[in-house]
Amino acid sequence: MKRELIEKLNNRTALIGIVGLGYVGIPLSISYANSGYKVIGFDIDQSKIDYISAGETYIKHIPDSEIQCLVDNGFEATIDFSRASEVDALILCVPTPLDQHREPDLSFVLDTTDSLLPYIRKGQVMSLESTTYPGTTDEELKPRIESTGLKVGKDVFLVYSPEREDPGNENFTTQTIPKVCGGDNEACQEVGMALYGQVINKVVSVSSTRAAEMTKLLENIHRAVNIGLVNEMKIVADKMGIDIYEVIDAAATKPFGFVPYYPGPGLGGHCIPIDPFYLTWKAREYGINTRFIELAGEVNSNMPEWVVSKVVQGLNAHKKSINGSRILMLGIAYKKNVDDMRESPSVEIMQMMQNVGADVEYSDNYVPVFPKMRRYSFNLESVSLDADVLKQYDCVVIGTNHDDFDYSLILENARLIVDARGVYRGRYENVINA
């Protein structure tokens, strides 16, 4: 069984199933299709299926041409999970958010797995790519699979290989980013390496699914902790009248022992604000308090409040109250040049300002209409910028530094700018660095 599956994966005759057609699943589908594999994509959202089938994108940084090429290569998108029995590999790319108590929400992973169970057959490999705590693959997925009577490592194969997508980063692609892979056992590991070996330039083998799960968490916790450090340094530097960006740039000239991280309005996206809590939750099972990680999370979570305090400070200097002021948020995606709004600190800042009476609007070409969100509700559309429009607002807040903003136009026409992204280096009368 193992030998036959590895042979099909290596000669690219295996049929690949990608479950979850979002920011991870679509690029992965493109990579497999471009490498010569036939791919079927699964999702529960019919609108996504309709977009793809028409050769159109619903993710701004992935152009229509790539979706059309994907379809031309034979890609099929479906909501029919019974077709999972046709594929040789099932790669799960579904969300792993936090619940309202900031504890891991595995419902997407577990519900998806349960939906696939009736159609899993001998000779298949399942790979989980969703970020999660160590133990998820062997504690949750493996028992479910083996409840069907199939033996993992003999009849079917199970691996964990965390996604490493960086949406909007033109320097790296799914193919060029090294990929970590850990199998439930040695046989699973061999199959996992074959699954990704023809598509990814470098596949890094680790000893277990738990090691792979921990690797993903370490990567993102490393970033969260260092961003928390530099955000705290920003506050200290601000109180001392020091430009933190000048300090970071100077420190970065050291050729060893220092990696520059830059402050911002808080953490956003599907990984960095969420992943540390997966480890802290699991660590409690072992009687461990992850104080260092939780402190960084506290610092980063407080950054939107810091930005709002800078807005209040700036308006006060203009003898205005935030209550009743017209404020324009520039950029509501969680990072520059993407349309992903998950955990965006800009939206949290908007909500905080609205709560104290501000009249808040936004401008973001990547998000033309404010979408439905679980925690926020704004009936707004993106404002088009020109000189006259900018002059109408009491304050402009730079929350996401998209490249398509005309920052010279903004600087020349905005009465007050609160810059939470370090766009304007140096000193300007109408700019407050936040």
Distances from the Cα of 45 to the Cα of 19, 74, 113, 322, 337, angstroms: 11, 20, 17, 40, 24
* Polymer length in residues for the chain: 434
Output the furthest CA–CA distance in the chain (Å, rounded): 75
pLDDT tens-digit series, residues 42-58: 999 999 999 999 999 99
Q: What is the DSSP letter of 421?
A: S
Q: Where are the domains of the chain?
A: 2-207, 217-299, 302-433
pLDDT of residue 291: 93
Kindly give the pairing relationship between strand 431-433 and strand 125-128.
Answer: unpaired
The C-alpha atoms of residue 247 and residue 229 are separated, in whole angstroms, by 14
Cβ atoms of residues 32 and 39 within 8 Å: yes
Tell me the torsion sign for CA atoms 181, 184, 190, 194. negative
Q: How sure is the predictor about 425, in pLDDT bands with cuts at 50, 70 and 90?
A: confident
Q: Please give the average per-residue pLDDT across 272-287, as a whole number.
A: 90
pLDDT of residue 169: 83
Cα angle 292, 297, 302 (rounded to 5 degrees) comes to 130
Place of tokens 């046709």: 86
CATH class in words for 217-299: mainly alpha
Q: What is the DSSP letter of 50?
A: H
Distances from the Cα of 209 to the Cα of 159, 180, 213, 285, angstroms: 6, 10, 6, 18
* CATH architecture of the domain covering 302-433: 3-Layer(aba) Sandwich (3.40)
The C-alpha atoms of residue 220 and residue 222 are separated, in whole angstroms, by 5
pLDDT tens-digit series, residues 87-129: 999 999 999 988 877 889 999 999 999 999 999 999 999 999 9
Q: How sure is the predictor about 170, in pLDDT bands with cuts at 50, 70 and 90?
A: confident
Q: How many CA atoms lie within 13 A of 167 on its CB side?
A: 25
Q: Identify the H or E element spanning 239.
A: helix 209-239
Least confident of 80-94, 267-281, 286-300: 267-281
pLDDT tens-digit series, residues 133-154: 999 999 999 999 999 999 999 9
Q: Using only C-alpha atoms, what is the Rg of the chain?
A: 23
Cβ atoms of residues 161 and 31 within 8 Å: no
pLDDT of residue 420: 97
Question: Is residue 12 predicted with pLDDT exceeding 90?
Answer: yes
The C-alpha atoms of residue 168 and residue 286 are separated, in whole angstroms, by 38
Give the predicted TM-score (pTM) of the model: 0.92
> 164: buried, middle or exposed (CB in 10 Å: 19+, 13-18, 0-12)?
middle
Q: Which residues neighbour 136 within 8 Å (Cβ) at sequence distance 6 or greater?
A: 106, 109, 128, 160, 213
Token output for 58: 């619903």
Identical fold, 217-299 and 302-433: no
The C-alpha atoms of residue 92 and residue 20 are separated, in whole angstroms, by 7
The C-alpha atoms of residue 64 and residue 55 are separated, in whole angstroms, by 6
Fold of 2-207: Rossmann fold (3.40.50)
Q: What is the DSSP letter of 70?
A: H
Residues annotated as catalytic (active site), given as ranges:
271
pLDDT tens-digit series, residues 185-223: 999 999 999 999 999 999 999 999 999 999 999 999 999
pLDDT of residue 290: 94
Cβ atoms of residues 209 and 152 within 8 Å: no
pLDDT tens-digit series, residues 330-389: 999 999 999 999 899 999 999 999 999 999 999 999 999 999 887 888 999 999 999 999
pLDDT of residue 271: 79
Token output for 273: 């604000």
pLDDT of residue 69: 93
Q: Please give the average per-residue pLDDT across 318-326, as a whole number.
A: 97
